[in-house]
Structure 1
């Protein structure tokens, strides 16, 4: 799946000259946590999020006055930036300008990596520099829910199920040998030894995404250590 498959195309946006108060009202009414900022030519020039609106003098949530030493230890750029976040009345003055974006062809793993790496909740989808959609964490969760929805018609032979499990385990250093995977009447039996609880859980989970699996039986154990006399 790609960004174009799951993105929201009816995107709520604001202009750089939109007032902070109008933008805050929009976020509240639309139940969203951020909006892209679009200029007169349709270009994305920034993004405004709830985080940009947290510290406002109107709510009494502005940064407390620092001591003279605290003021001295911070750059004037940082201090001026904080003042803007607290007092500015135009979106252009408080929005994040360095916008992270993805292309419509970006796959979901790339999008998830972008959201995690940049600690953001949504990412605009741009095509030829123009906004065509937006992908949020909720879009990814919805895609996951659809992917995990069981197919009641799914059926597979024991041999097909076994091959599916072995494919899932292939190349994993923590996987047991192939002869320790047995499938009978749709139930996967895992035998062998593991060195950690994480290994045990990972092995058992390998069968969860294989079509036709009716159950999983855990026969895994830890190596027996004999004390030397």
Structure 2
């Protein structure tokens, strides 16, 4: 799946003179955690998120840093912190140099991007303009959708289960009995360890159309084979 398949397209943006209080109200009303900052032509300039509103003088959360931390912080950095905590408009608090993706970026790449940069969302850009946003929740929805089980004929389900068993080198299909009723699979047979049994269950669970497994598999360790 690609960014275009899951992105939110009705993106609301803020501009240079949008006030901090207006941004906070917007985030609350739309139930979102960040908005793009664009210029008068709609080109992406930055991003304003909940994190940009945390250290604010109105909240009393802009506590001064310890003296030793100030020694390690440049004057320019301290000036930027002051603007971010005291500024009144979007241009004062926005995050610049925002990571972006294109409409055809695979979701796997977006997931890695969010994880590596520890961000919650990424704008989708086309010709410099924001056409959507992909957030962690969008990825979660895509994952949930991709794992929805689809109904399949009984003979097809049984065929797929037997095919899975053929690929497990520690399971002998001739020693297993598979009965399929609707979307329920019953497994009968013997294995030599709980690990093998767990792997068998995982293999069958991953077959499309299987909603439930009834386990009748017995564990018979190799050393008991002659008993």
TM-score above 0.5: yes
Question: After superposition, what is the alpha-carbon deviation per residue over 1:31-50, rounded to whole angstroms, capped at 9, x for unaligned?
Answer: 11000111122211101100
Instruction: Please list the CA deviations of residues 58-101 of structure 1 after superposition, one character each: whole Å capped at 9, or x if unmatched.
Output: 11111x22343332232223322221221011211211111111
- Structure 1 residue 166, shift from structure 2 partner: 6.2
* Structure 1 position 212 matched with structure 2 position 204: no
- Which whole-Å CA distance do the structure 1 matches of 2:59 and 2:200 have between them? 51
Once residues 112 and 21 of structure 2 are traced to their aligned partners in structure 1, the CA distance between those partners, rounded to angstroms, is 32
Aligned to 1:163: 163
**In structure 1, the residue corresponding to 2:58 is in which secondary structure?**
helix
Q: How many residues align?
A: 213
Aligned to 1:88: 87
Other structure's SS at 2:45 match: strand
Q: Which stretches in structure 2 are left out of the alignment for 5+ residues?
A: none
Q: Could you tell me how far apart the structure 2 residues matched to 1:124 and 1:165 are?
A: 44
Contact conserved, 1:161 with 1:212, CA < 8 A, in 2?
no
Q: Deviations over 1:166-195 (max 9, x none)?
A: 67xxxxxxxx52535656124357945577
Q: 1:177 aligns to what?
A: 169
Correspondence for 2:5 = 5
Which structure has the larger Rg? 2
- Asked if 1:117 is matched to 2:109, the reply is no
- Change over 3 Å in CA distance of 1:116–1:66 after alignment to 2: closer
Deviation, 1:127, is 1.7
